[in-house]
Amino acid sequence: MKQLTETALETEIDSCIANHILGGNRNRKNGVNKKTVKETSDGSFELETPRDRNGTFEPQIVNNKGVRR
């Protein structure tokens, strides 16, 4: 579950960054943040969510509180 979610997050930020570049913005990837994702049946796990330089990327899959949507 962790690897699948991290792959989806990378795809999501790549799309977001591509849209910024097309719009003339110079935003880029800038490392990762670690979040604990709360699962009801599987417990919880730590997830590395990508971040951007401008700090505007908010994943649609996992919110800022570490809860899967």
Q: What is the pLDDT of residues 33-48, one digit of tens each?
A: 898 887 767 688 888 9
**Angle in degrees, CA 10, 15, 17, rounded to 5:** 95
Tokens of 8: 């989806």
User: Which residue in 30, 11, 14 sits closest to 22, CA to CA?
Assistant: 14
Give the model confidence (pLDDT) of 3-15 as tens digits. Answer: 998 999 999 999 9
Question: What pTM was computed for the model?
Answer: 0.74
Alpha helical stretches, state H, the chain: 2-22
User: Which residue in 35, 32, 39 sits closest to 63, CA to CA?
Assistant: 35
